[in-house]
Chain A
Amino acid sequence: MPHTLTELVAGAAPIVVEETRGYWEGTLAEELRVQTCNECGNVQMPWGPCCTRCLSQDLGSIVASGRGRVFSFTVVRQAIHPNFSAQVPYVIADIELEEGPIMTSNVTDCPVEDVRIGMPVQLWFDNEMEDAFHTKLRLPKFRPAKG
């Protein structure tokens, strides 16, 4: 268990908090859950404590299809965080989900030179990891869609 800010920052795992618990529980079931507002029907990512359209806290979720397109991306050539130095070059992309919202993730399983804006991608889940407080989770990632 990390005790200091420095230790927390040094780790590269997400930190599961109350309003995101449902999202991360979904990843363990290999579900990408997109947050929905039960009052106004807004669909939003990332998850938050309230609806960014109407401020309602009556929130639910839907399971995303896993299909999306690359909205934008970057090929990281120099990792600023030491945990990622061995992985360069890698792709960080903003994925426009079929359900509408944009989420940040990685595009994997293809040469970094092949990634394009508008490219269709398909969801997959990375290996199980733990956050700083030993809560288990899996990171949703994307790879080029087949066909």
Chain B
Amino acid sequence: MSISGKTAIAGVGVTAFGKLPGRSAWSLQTEAVKRAIDDAGLTKADIDGLLTAPPLAEPLLLHAEQLGGKLGLRTNYLSQKFIGGATAVALVAEAALAVEAGLCEVAVCVYGENAKTGLPMLFGRAQMGRGQAPSDDIAYGLAGGPIMEARAAKRYMNEFGVTEEMLGSVAVAFREHASRNPGATYRDPLTIEQYLQNRYVSEPLRVLDCTIGASDGAVAVVVTSSERARDLAKPPAVIAGAGVAANLQGLSDPDHYTSYPGARSAATAYRMAGLEPEDVDVAQFYDCFTSTVLITMEDYGFCKRGEAGPFALEGNLKRGGALPSNTSGGMLSEANLVGWNVLAEGVRQIRGESTSQVDDAEVCVVAGQGGFHAAHATLLLTKGAA
């Protein structure tokens, strides 16, 4: 059984991103849900499924139940998921499964928090380096995402001759997109010279190679059947393919420095959709780091191993290039909503609503990367049958 083409994202709701002092996570989440329902042209009474990702700063065990209560919902399906940065994409895939299986008819998926101005990201800090006893890597000073990722980036660059300019060209391309997005956190133009003068956090990664630390904000999407979505307010973003793959040994596995389980989650999504990498018009990568984007491009078959760096350096990730990517600015320049903002931009591209719209964008891929090379999720969004 395939779910290809049977469900669609019918509504998107985003709040403002960045610094939103005084806003609670609940207030942001409920605002995004309201906006997504309104966007689809639905009412609260139509919603019978709720799927949430718990905020990093407030990892509540009963987040879905509590948010459902605050929204005053009675649902036929309820779920809460956290698989790191793969959560957004994987949660939409789960919503599509629930709708297709008849567990509910209209599901809302939501994530939001006030990680920038509210509670510190205690949960994230607690987990970093605590995952792998007995090395208990925090004892060696391994605390924080950039250090986790830098060792993979170093090995990847060493193996394939990837230069710092190639990493930087990812940041430059995404900033150019952000400069046209009024909602982006960083909109000033960025040159490769500025990038090369930027300070290192954890070599080879500079500040500009890393996602924005944390943003306040929320994103929600409405998932329903493609049939129903066609009659709603906005053009549907049809879910043509999905995949969720994992290799949970992370960096204990030597293969994992230069690839992700994304090769498998993408293969599942392409097979389901009957599509090839050549069919993809625009991509929204999980860009927690510039190196993550290059490795994902190779996993997804857009470039052969070791060729994503030169491909990016040639400007192919910019609008007008061969693979325009992260057209809102992504997590490097727009906001760090843990991939949810990247997902929202994927829907905008299919609808023709992006501030860096790709002409005739028929197929958009959205990537979610979680748990430092452990989990990966892929969505292929299309306009569907005309």
A residues near B, CB below 8 A? 5-6, 8-9, 12-17, 19-20, 23-24, 44-48, 52, 71-81, 83-84, 87, 90, 92-94, 96, 101-106, 117, 139, 141
Contacts of B152 in A (CB 8 A): 72
CA distance A17 to B201 in the complex (A): 32
A46, A52, A72: the one within 8 Å of B133 (CB): A46
Is residue B62 contacting chain A, with contact meaning CB distance below 8 A?
Answer: no
Contacting residues, chain B, for A17 (C-beta < 8 A)? 133-134
Query: Is B203 located at the chain interface by the 8 A CB criterion?
Result: yes
Q: A residues within 8 A CB of B103? A: none
Interface centre among A17, A74, A90 (most CB of B within 10 A): A74
Q: Which residues of B contact A16 (CB under 8 A)?
A: 134
* Residue among B122, B128, B203 facing the most chain A CB atoms (10 A cut-off): B203
Closest-by-CB residue of A relative to B204 is A74
Residues of chain B in range 131-179 having any CB-CB distance to chain A below 8 Å: 132-144, 146-147, 150-152, 154-155, 158
Contact yes or no, B125 A46, CB < 8 A = no
Q: Contact: B251 with A81, CB < 8 Å?
A: no
Contact B142 A92 (CB under 8 A): yes
Residues of A within 8 A of B130 (CB): 9, 15
Binding site for A on B (CB under 8 A): 122, 125-126, 128, 130, 132-144, 146-147, 150-152, 154-155, 158, 199-205, 249, 251-252, 254, 257
In Å, the complex CA distance between A103 and B203 comes to 19
Whether A80 lies near B132 (C-beta < 8 A) is no
**Neighbour of A73 across the interface among B141, B143, B151, B252, CB < 8 A:** B151
* 28 A-B contact pairs sorted by A residue (CB < 8 Å): A9-B125, A19-B133, A20-B133, A45-B252, A46-B133, A46-B135, A46-B252, A47-B134, A72-B155, A73-B151, A73-B154, A74-B150, A75-B203, A76-B141, A76-B147, A76-B203, A78-B202, A80-B147, A81-B141, A84-B141, A90-B141, A92-B147, A103-B135, A104-B140, A104-B142, A105-B135, A117-B154, A139-B140
A6–B121 CA distance with the chains assembled, in angstroms: 11
Residues of B within 8 Å of A6, CB to CB, are 122
- Which residue of A96, A103, A104 contacts B254 across the interface (Cβ within 8 Å)? A96
Partner of A77, one of B122, B142, B203: B203
When chains A and B are docked, how far (Å) is the Cα of A73 from the Cα of B147?
9
Complex Cα–Cα for A71 and B151 (A): 9
Distance (whole angstroms) from the CB of B37 to the closest CB of chain A: 36
Contact check, B126 vs A72: say whether CB atoms are below 8 A apart.
no
- Give the distance to chain A from B59, nearest Cβ to Cβ, in Å: 11
Contacts of A101 in B (CB 8 A): 252
Complex CA distance for A16 and B130, rounded to whole angstroms: 11
Residues of chain A contacted by B205 (CB below 8 angstroms): 74
Contact: B141 with A94, CB < 8 Å?
Answer: no
**Nearest chain B residue, comparing its CB with the CB of A101:** B252
Task: With A46-B132, A77-B201 as known contacts, state yes or no: A105 contacts B126, CB within 8 Å.
Answer: no
Separation of A44 and B147 alpha carbons in the complex (Å)? 23
Complex-state Cα separation, A69 to B133, whole angstroms: 22
Q: Which residues does chain A contribute within 8 Å of B141, judged by CB atoms?
A: 12, 76, 79, 81, 83-84, 87, 90, 92, 106
Do A15 and B133 touch (CB < 8 A)?
A: yes
Contact B158 A72, beta carbon cutoff 8 Å:
yes
Q: For the complex, what is the distance from the CA of A116 to the CA of B194, rounded to whole Å?
A: 27
CB distance from A53 to the nearest CB of B (A): 11
Q: Shortest Cβ distance from B341 into chain A, in angstroms? A: 23
Q: Which residues of B contact A81 (CB under 8 A)?
A: 125, 138, 141, 143-144
Can you add 6 more A-B contacts, CB < 8 Å, to A90-B141, A103-B135? A6-B122, A8-B126, A9-B130, A46-B135, A72-B257, A92-B140
Q: Is the pair B202, A71 in contact by a Cβ cutoff of 8 Å?
A: no
* 3 cross-chain pairs, A with B, having the tightest CB-CB distances, nearest first: A14-B136, A80-B144, A20-B134
Residues of A within 8 A of B133 (CB): 14-15, 17, 19-20, 46-48
CB atoms of A5 and B151 under 8 A apart: no
Q: Which residue of A lies closest to B131 (CB)?
A: A46
- Shortest distance between the CB of B208 and any CB in chain A (Å): 13
CA distance A35 to B273 in the complex (A): 43
The CA-CA distance from A84 to B202 in the complex, in Å, is 13
Query: With A9-B126, A74-B150, A76-B202 given, is the CB distance from A117 to B144 under 8 Å?
Result: no
